[in-house]
Amino acid sequence: MNDNISQDNSRGMTDAQLDRLLDELETPPAPSDLLRARLHADPLRASPRDDAAKGGPAGTPDATGGGRFSERRALYARIAATLCLAAVVGMASWLPAPGPARDGAVARLAVPVAPFAAPAPRAWELAGNQGGSETLRTGPALSLVGGDGAAIGGIGLVQAAWSGGAGADAVDGGELDDIPLD
């Protein structure tokens, strides 16, 4: 009897039997209210998991005023600033006089802008930029027209980055306060 069952089963299951097993999988959970509220308010803010990790309620802004994404960018900015500072300090200890940072060094800043803010930021500039090639870049949700950085939309993050040729002043320029938005 057992042998017979074994033989039957060894032939494999039918499509209908597989479907029955697949139907055992539960239905997907609905998205959390926290995520929904977060996306309603600002898709660039942190996920509920990050809020929980921060020990705050949904939407608790982190030090950068944003959430997960700005938090991540702020972390990158801190790492980049630290590396630049270390490079400058390292060079200062080896060279007779402070020189420019190595070419290609990049500092990236994240400036939170309230979603759908009005009026949109019209112009900004990097403070303390000395001799470096300056570039302004839009964040993932900001539109710019022309090359002068005039914004036509003020949604999301504004990122400012510059590379090469800057020294200690550029590191200081990495402070968020040094990028005026008006």
Partner 1 sequence: MAAGTAAARVVLAPPDADPTAAGDDFLIAAAAGGDGAAWTVLVDRYLGQITGHAWYMLGDPREAEDVAQEAFLRLFAKAPAWEPGGAQLKTWLYRVVVNLCIDRKRKVLPIPMAELPERPDGGAEARDRGIDIKRSVRAALDALPARQRSALVLTYYEGFTNREAGRLLGISAEAVESLLARGRRALKDALQSVHREMMGERK
Q: Which of 3, 7, 16, 26 binds partner 1 (CB under 8 A)?
A: 26
Q: Please report whether residue 177 would count as binding partner 1 according to CB under 8 A.
A: no
Stretch that binds partner 1, among 73-81, 124-132, 149-157, 165-173 (CB under 8 A): 149-157
Which of positions 35-94 make contact with partner 1 (CB under 8 A)?
Answer: 35-36, 38-40, 43-44, 47-49, 69
Binding of partner 1 by 118 (CB under 8 A)? yes
Tell me which stretch binds partner 1 (CB under 8 A): 57-65, 92-100, 151-159, 172-180.
151-159
Three-state SS string over the chain comes to CHHHHHHHHHCCCCHHHHHHHHCCCCCCCCCCHHHHHHHHHCCCCCCHHHHHHHCCCCCCCCCCCCCHHHHHHHHHHHHHHHHHHHHHHHHHHHCCCCCCCCCCCEEEEEEEECCCCCCCCCCECCCCCCCCEEEEEECCCCCEECCCCEECCCCEEEEEEEECCCCHHHHHCCCHHHCCEC
Single residue of 3, 7, 12, 63 touching partner 1 by CB under 8 A: 12
Residues that bind partner 1 (CB under 8 A): 5, 9, 12-13, 15, 17-19, 21-22, 24-32, 35-36, 38-40, 43-44, 47-49, 69, 115-116, 118, 140-141, 143, 145, 152-156
